[in-house]
Amino acid sequence: MADYQAPLRDMRFLLNEVFDAPTLWQSLPALAEVVDAETAEAILEEAGKITANSIAPLNRSGDEEGCHWQAGEVTTPAGYKEAYRLYAEGGWVGVGGDPAFGGMGMPKVISAQVEEMMNSASLAFGLYPMLTSGACLSIHAHASEPLKQKYLPNMYAGVWSGSMCLTEPHAGTDLGIIRTRAEPQADGTYKVSGTKIFITGGEHDLTENIIHLVLAKLPDAPAGSRGISLFLVPKVLVEDDGALGERNALSCGSIEHKMGIQASATCVMNFDGATGWMVGEPNKGLAAMFTMMNYERLGVGIQGLSTGERSYQSAIEYARERIQSRAPTGPVAQDKVADPIIVHPDVRRMLLTMKALNEGGRAFSSYVALQLDIAKFSDDAEARQRAEAQVALLTPVAKAFLTDMGLESTVHGQQVFGGHGFIREWGQEQLVRDCRITQIYEGTNGIQALDLVGRKVVGSGGTLYQAFADEIRAFIADAGSELAEFVDPLQAALDNLDELTAWVIDRARANPNEIGAASVEYLHVFGYTAYAYMWARMATAAFGKQAQDDFYQSKLGTARFYFARVLPRVQSLSASVRAGSESLYLLDAARF
């Protein structure tokens, strides 16, 4: 596998030339004194170094060795503890954390790019700090001040880590039927009992303490999801002076043997009357958990992008060096017995598809991150409300579409290698295996599609969608005629999405099955159209600069490929949506 190199040039292009993030930062008082273009540049440069030099070399060895479980203790692969300590000492776990508790205070659009680099280097490694950051978000937003003071500094510092304990053996998507219970105690604590499964980083040897956020129900809780509360349950109890005390009544029963992410400990966690503290209000645990969900679901989408980027970097290096057959138009490498495979049309199709999806995904994830920053930091109530609406609409698209396209890119990269892509030596098969989980956890992509269509589009009567569509129309109206080759197909794609949205809303009134029948294909039509918007914006930023730098020529060439060869996928997907739900119900269960 090629050595990983962070795509810093493309990240700078997005921040400074496409989205003009430094101007936004200066307009937000909470960020103006924290970050500017130079600070962002320095942070990304350093993140690129540590991920490429210290984490990426562990990716294959970590996969080969995996985690080890023995008598409730989990050991991570060789080199992980040292790399994690180095990562934590650099402040990277708390890159987006509140400075009042020791975090860097960086906006999400910066931490999102750090996440991409970390997960491209090693998705399994990146899950440990990601889960800690997610736990910190919920604690910061909903916990009492004493809990924040007690736990956040060490979590941001990477001395302690975090986990999110949601799923149970019988309760995955339907969290309303969880059985974990929390019994109130006279001293204000709770005794938490139950079993959680699929808990990423539930037990490991990287940190001296693990702070679990656990969903559980109080004895008098209402039925269903309205009766879920959230509790902070540390692995090791913390004394009033901050020192570690005795081990809490919880344990890791086993770790899962998985298809991928072997170096990430996926645990069965048993809570046996463990001491915990409530985070937020009683029976409002899902709301507290969803504070971090928008961030974490974007983060999982970025994981898909990350594996696609790593796959592309290896595939393009291989395609330039591997010689097989001659170009259709005649020999290119006259001094060799065959030409590099990059001369062949089908190899170019795969490479350009990967490049277009990766760069479009990076732009889209950065765009969504900017909306999160506006929603969090803006003093303008109207701007916050508009950004919150955008985040609500786009989060399921970011999670599902980025990961679906990430898997496609890893498979393309594997295919470029041919038979060598199927064996471990080159690392491509690991990327396919690792990427696959991103379509499943943090809410399966089918659930994301139902959320988009059922709650965000149909549920809002199309108002959330309309605001996003209006923004794209305003961009199109402002574009000059010289950009017609990018703007005209964007306009056509948006018109198609407008019509499809109206069709789904109308059909859902008469038949609720239409929502689920349309959801996955609709989300993909939405995703390709959103990427078209990103590509039109990138083409606008690059247009006229072709003579300055090959980077801009490459950007425009890839934009043209996207509009010519990728965006037309919306036509067949739209036809599938309009076919309706009838054909899904022609067979009863016994006839499948």
| Active site amino acids | 442
CB-CB contact of 343 with 327 (8 Å): yes
Angular region, 408: left φ>0, alpha ψ -120 to 50, beta rest: alpha
The whole-angstrom separation of Cα 266 and Cα 124 is 10
The whole-angstrom separation of Cα 587 and Cα 592 is 7
Residues 371-377: contacts with CB within 8 Å, 24+ apart? 372/108, 372/294, 372/295, 372/298, 373/24, 373/28, 373/31, 373/107, 373/108, 373/109, 374/24, 374/28, 376/108, 377/28, 377/30, 377/31, 377/107
CB-CB contact of 363 with 18 (8 Å): yes
DSSP element (H, E) containing 496: helix 484-510
Concatenate the DSSP letters of all residues of 148-197 into one string: HHHHHHHHHTTSEEEEEE--BTTBSS-GGG---EEEE-TTS-EEEEEEEE
The whole-angstrom separation of Cα 554 and Cα 9 is 12
Q: Exposed, middle or buried: residue 82 (CB in 10 Å: 0-12, 13-18, 19+)?
A: exposed
Concatenate the DSSP letters of all residues of 529-573 into one string: HHHHHHHHHHHHHHTT-TTT-HHHHHHHHHHHHIIIIITTHHHHH
Cα 189–chain centre separation: 34
Q: Which residue has the tokens 């990059």?
A: 342
Sign of CA dihedral 17, 489, 458, 224: negative
* Partners of 183 in beta bridges: 191
CB-CB contact of 158 with 218 (8 Å): no
The whole-angstrom separation of Cα 457 and Cα 462 is 5
CA atoms within 13 A on the CB side of 431: 38
Q: Which two tokens stand for residue 209?
A: 């303490």
Task: Tell me the C-alpha to C-alpha distance, in Å, between residue 457 and each of 395, 442, 454, 462, 464.
Answer: 13, 21, 6, 5, 7
CB-CB contact of 310 with 431 (8 Å): yes
Largest CA distance in the chain: 84
The DSSP code for 144 is: -
